[in-house]
Amino acid sequence: MSDTASTEDRLTCRDSWFVQRSAVTASAPAPLPELLAAMGAEAPLVAARALPELRVPVWRVRAGAALLHEGASPESVHVVRSGSFKCLKTSEDGYEQVLAFSGPGEVLGFEALSRGRHTCSVVALEDSTVFAVPLRELDGWRQRAPALDHALQFALSRQLARAGEIAEMMAAVAAETRLARFLMWMSACMAERGQSPRRLYLRMSRRDIASLLGVAHETVSRSFTALAEWGHLRVVNREVEILDAAGLRACTRNTRGLAEDGGRGGTHAARPRPTLHAAEAQAAVAA
């Protein structure tokens, strides 16, 4: 029997459809403590000897593959093990609206429990892996392992807070302010995961960022260039280095647009606003 056939045998008929169409394949299952640690459970809970010996299915998702499809019936609750995803809705005219970006420890597909269907699609931004807890097993696992229930509550609470932060990004008038808030949000997420909060590699495209922030793609390019010229960033394609965190943070506080004399904040507040052509800006920070 081939490796592909044996993989599909371990999945349900519906999951086999994902293998064929979405490049989602089964991997070796992981122990429960690994899932708890990914969701941010405290070390004593993860190390507890009383934890049942549960093995959690793990799926590999190739970059660009859809893990969940909008409108599909839920089969599992997923927790990101490695990599990153974008959550999006598709309108009737085919436009894809990005709603969120998700990284390690975040829960995917939980909202489908109340609706009976997935309300958005989830697409991998890079080669990624997820824990896949079958819905038919979820309640039983939570009863057998209270630490799992606690970790799940913590992870969902953290995501609610982040959803509020994304809404706050949209409250700004100036595109530079929206982008500054997004970059500070990304920086905080990286710090939580033990990664550098100053050196960011953006797995998402400029178009994905523009969709999340509710601005045009060209506007995001101009905003990256403006923040770089004000001395807050260094941008090379998808690599972003925060040079002046205080100045960038000051930009996030402007809710009514950037004033000419001091809207940029920090030590760069007195610099004149750069005049940029869209083509020049796009070339400077092309994805």
Give pLDDT, residue 7.
40
Q: What mean pLDDT comes out for the span 93-104?
A: 92
Number of other CB atoms surrounding residue 172 within 10 Å: 22
Q: What mean pLDDT comes out for the span 112-117?
A: 91
Q: What mean pLDDT comes out for the span 144-163?
A: 91
Band (130; pLDDT cuts 50, 70, 90): very high
Does residue 147 sit in helix, strand or coil?
A: helix
SS3 content of the chain, % helix, strand, coil (to 5): 45, 20, 35
Band (46; pLDDT cuts 50, 70, 90): low
What does the pLDDT look like over 160-200, one tens digit per residue? 998 888 888 888 889 999 999 999 999 999 998 888 999 99
Does residue 26 sit in helix, strand or coil?
A: strand
User: Residue 33 phi/psi, 5° resolution?
Assistant: -55, -30
State yes or no: pLDDT of 120 exceeds 80: yes
> What's the token pair of residue 137?
């097993």
In terms of C-beta density within 10 A (0-12 exposed, 13-18 middle, 19 or more buried), how is residue 67 classed?
buried
Give pLDDT, residue 98.
95
Percent of the chain with pLDDT over 70: 78
Could you give the count of Cα atoms lying within 13 Å of 263 in the half-sphere of its Cβ? 18
Structural domains of the chain ordered from first start: 3-165 (2.60.120.10), 173-284 (1.10.10.10)
With tokens 């960022």, the residue in question is 209
